[in-house]
Amino acid sequence: MRKLFFVYLVFGAVALGAKAVWAQTSPSAMPASSVASFEENIAAFAAADREHAPPTGGILFVGSSSIRLWNDLEKQFGPSIIKRAVGGSKMSDCTRYLDRLVFPYKPRQVVVYAGDNDLAEGIPPEDILISFQKFVDGVQRELPSTRISYISIKPSPARARLIPKIRETNHLIEKYTSENQKLDFIEVFTAMLDAEGQPRADLFRADALHLNEAGYTLWRKIIAQHVR
Residue-wise pLDDT tens digits, 75-97: 899 889 999 999 999 999 999 99
Supply the angle between the helices 125-142 and 163-177 in degrees, to the nearest 10. 30
pLDDT band at 197 (very low <50, low <70, confident <90, very high): very high
* Cβ contact 155:191 at 8 Å: no
Segment 169-186 mean pLDDT: 98
Residue 82 neighbours by CB under 8 Å, 6+ apart: 54, 58, 59, 60, 61, 105, 107
**How is residue 152 annotated by DSSP?**
P
Kindly report the backbone phi and psi dihedral angles of residue 106, in degrees, each rounded to the nearest multiple of 5, phi listed first.
45, 55
Gap between the Cα atoms of 88 and 48, Å rounded:
21
Residue 40 has pLDDT above 60, yes or no: yes
* pLDDT(138) > 70: yes
157 pLDDT exceeds 80? yes
Q: Give me the mean pLDDT over the 23-29 stretch.
A: 39
Output the average pLDDT for the chain.
87
Mean pLDDT of 194-202: 97
Question: Mean pLDDT lowest for which of 12-16, 41-45, 180-184, 202-206?
Answer: 12-16
